Structure 1
Amino acid sequence: MSHGKIREDKTCLNCGHVVEERFCPHCGQENVEPKQPFHYLFTHFIEDFTHYDGQFWKTIKYLLFRPGKLTKEYLAGKRQLYVAPVKLYIFISFITFFLPSLFSGSEEEMNNDSKKTHASQEIEKEKKKEQIAQFTDSLTQGLKEAQLKAKKPKTSKDLKLTQVNGNDIETDVIDETADGKIGVLGAKTMKQFDSISHKNNNKAVYSYFRPFAKKIFYLQEKGLSQDEIFDRFTNTFLHTLPKALFIYLPVFAFFLWLFHNKKRWWYFDHGIFTLHYFSFLLLGTLIFILLSELMALLPDFGMFTLLSIFIYFVATIYMCIYFFIAHHSVYETRKRTSIFKGSILFLINTFGVLIMFLILLYVSFMTMH
């Protein structure tokens, strides 16, 4: 119930009917003052969603520990006791999207503070290290070229390739350079990458990895380290995950529709099941994020490490078998039939989600900035 101040005037501002109590019997609007304190915006949102009557918490409890219960109740017409499926999914998606940004923001602030503290002392050291490293690299490169010319004469094409790459073409796609940066196919910069690709016969490989190389070198030119690039990629991936799952919702429901009786189960019914199941997956992801942040605060003892591994293992197994339990509960088929259909659906959707994640990984990486 809202704590907004009730108007003395009993005429509804929305429809003009007389309001005897708190809510208008005609349109349902609450008869409160139109102007409220600023904090009312936030408290009203929370109250409106949770209702403080147990609706929200009851929904979360059933979603986590009673697989399929919410779907059965909703399809049976009991819809006022729980949060609506679409509203539930959007709210959990928002929290899953918003929470990682808070953690990453706090971590970046801590890192920035520590960097500023030592910046004045480290700048001169880094400059000296870079000068020494450049001199050493140039000297080493000159010695290698002299040895190659003396011992093993090669064509001009091979010499140029060796001079640019310094390695065999069978190099790692992603590796760490001597200065601690990320190298792609033996190249340290985009100019070097293009130069190697032009001189190599296997141009398809370089064409395929060129967007990745361009993004990595661009981020490194902005001064980002390996860890910072990885953190940005992880955050971008987590932010995109709810959107990708939302796009896959109708596909998941379509596969359910294919494997069940069309007369008894409508596509709408499968959509409700999918919304609840995906809400659980997002909530599970959110719990994993919270657990990882909590475990990071604990001392690095063997007992805590074993405990965290055990918790992650149990949670992962539960998230895998959740679908089978929910599927059997909602569709009420025999156990063997339910396990058979559930297994096929699980494999098909695992493959579909895997493809979606590969696309998501590519999009997440390419949209980093």
Structure 2
Amino acid sequence: MKITYKNCETLNYPDFNYCTNCSQKVNLHRINAHEIFHEIVHYFTHADKGIFQLIKELALKSGIVAKEYINGKRKKYFSPLNFFLLIAAIFVFISNIPKEEVPLDKQKENTELNSITNTAQKEKMIHLYERKEKVNHFIRKYSNLMAMMALPLIAFFFWLFYKKENYNYTEHLVAGMYMLGFCILINTLVILPISLLFHLSPNYNTLFFLLFQLAYFTVFYYRFLNKTSKLQFAKAFGVSAFGIICWGIVSGFTINAYISSGFWGIFS
């Protein structure tokens, strides 16, 4: 006698372990705390495609992971989009841990304001310093988010310079999710804590992150495209540097435009 499976309402024999239509398990348990905990553990530690296994592969084999995933080994690896979004979630959680910040006295910090007698000019300068402080606060708190926003541009440059490799833009975007996601993970869990431990300037943290990005991007794409010559390694280095520099120019221009005019000056 056949029974109707609950997920897709397909008729199947009761001795089947999985539905022949949707592959859901036949013997389902009621949802409880144990079931949820098991799913969480399975999600992170599954031997074939758990995130910890992926991180290990990205550290040791970098671009080969993206190459195999794009070329069809989809079940072997943790999804690039899920990985990228999970890294973003971890970063947002860490960034929103409450931190005590001492409010700045703008006139005390910027003594040149005391010499301005024109009220309108002084008000304008105060607003400029306020926007500057907001930008500094955003960069301190959301530097990794800014790095994530570089993904479409970085992927575009790799697609543009490697069009002969027959990977489309979306496939370069997928590779970028693995590549950039791993860099941001290392920045969040390794570079930033070391900087805080040794009380290094945020500028040093940014420098170390950019150098790590440049090195990892280069090795990642060298392996992703299965290159073997020193010339191709140099090209991967050049494209990586070009992409990072271009993103620095775009983000720098945007920041300066906001500080100087609050964006309104651009459209007036």
TM-score normalised to the size of structure 2? 0.71
Aligned length: 248
- Residue 346 in 1 paired to residue 240 in 2? yes
CA 1:274–1:13: 2 relative to 1, 3 Å: same
Cα drift, residue 22 of structure 1:
5.7
Query: Following the alignment from structure 1 to structure 2, what is the Cα–Cα distance between the partners of residues 96 and 55?
Result: 22
Aligned to 1:284: 186
Could you report, residue by residue, the CA deviation over 1:251-276 in whole angstroms, capped at 9, with x for unpaired residues?
22221122124363332332222222
- Residue 92 in 1 paired to residue 112 in 2? no
Segments of 5+ residues of structure 2 without an aligned counterpart are 201-205, 263-268
Check the 8 A contact 2:159/2:172 in 1, yes or no: yes
SS at match of 1:55: coil
Query: Following the alignment from structure 1 to structure 2, what is the Cα–Cα distance between the partners of residues 258 and 246?
Result: 20
Check the 8 A contact 2:83/2:181 in 1, yes or no: yes
Check the 8 A contact 1:324/1:338 in 2, yes or no: no
Aligned to 2:66: 71
Query: Following the alignment from structure 1 to structure 2, what is the Cα–Cα distance between the partners of residues 23 and 284?
Result: 40
Cα drift, residue 361 of structure 1:
5.0
2:109 aligned to which of 175, 182, 186? 182
- Residue 12 in 1 paired to residue 15 in 2? no
Moved more, 60-69 or 349-358: 349-358
Check the 8 A contact 2:154/2:244 in 1, yes or no: no
SS at match of 1:262: helix
1:205-354 matches, cutoff 5 A: 209=125, 211-215=127-131, 234-235=140-141, 237-238=142-143, 241-242=144-145, 244-262=146-164, 264-287=166-189, 288-292=191-195, 295=197, 317-354=211-248
Cα drift, residue 213 of structure 1:
2.6
1:97-246 matches, cutoff 5 A: 97-102=92-97, 105=98, 107-108=99-100, 181-183=108-110, 185-187=112-114, 195=119, 197=121, 209=125, 211-215=127-131, 234-235=140-141, 237-238=142-143, 241-242=144-145, 244-246=146-148
Cα drift, residue 47 of structure 1:
3.5
Aligned to 1:62: 57
CA 1:193–1:83: 2 relative to 1, 3 Å: farther
CA 1:335–1:314: 2 relative to 1, 3 Å: farther
Moved more, 321-330 or 351-360: 351-360
SS at match of 2:88: helix
Cα drift, residue 82 of structure 1:
0.8
CA 1:290–1:23: 2 relative to 1, 3 Å: farther
Could you report, residue by residue, the CA deviation over 1:64-114 in whole angstroms, capped at 9, with x for unpaired residues?
232212112213321211101111111111112212323xx2x44xx99xx
Query: Following the alignment from structure 1 to structure 2, what is the Cα–Cα distance between the partners of residues 358 and 90?
Result: 25
Could you report, residue by residue, the CA deviation over 1:222-274 in whole angstroms, capped at 9, with x for unpaired residues?
xxxxxxx9767622x24xx43x4444322222211221243633323322222
Check the 8 A contact 2:91/2:188 in 1, yes or no: yes
SS at match of 2:113: coil
Check the 8 A contact 2:217/2:237 in 1, yes or no: no
Query: Following the alignment from structure 1 to structure 2, what is the Cα–Cα distance between the partners of residues 183 and 359?
Result: 23
Check the 8 A contact 1:184/1:213 in 2, yes or no: no
The structure having more radius of gyration, on CA atoms, is 1
Could you report, residue by residue, the CA deviation over 1:19-67 in whole angstroms, capped at 9, with x for unpaired residues?
646643321334534x5336755x3662453253352222110112322
C-alpha RMSD of matched pairs (Å):
4.2
Could you report, residue by residue, the CA deviation over 1:293-335 in whole angstroms, capped at 9, with x for unpaired residues?
6x37xxx9xxxx9xxxxxx998875443222211211223342
Segments of 5+ residues of structure 1 without an aligned counterpart are 1-9, 113-173, 199-205, 220-228, 306-311
Check the 8 A contact 1:254/1:267 in 2, yes or no: yes
% identical aligned pairs: 18
Aligned to 2:265: none
Check the 8 A contact 1:257/1:270 in 2, yes or no: yes
SS at match of 1:289: helix
SS at match of 2:162: coil
Query: Following the alignment from structure 1 to structure 2, what is the Cα–Cα distance between the partners of residues 88 and 183?
Result: 43
CA 1:211–1:261: 2 relative to 1, 3 Å: same
SS at match of 2:183: helix
Query: Following the alignment from structure 1 to structure 2, what is the Cα–Cα distance between the partners of residues 263 and 356?
Result: 27
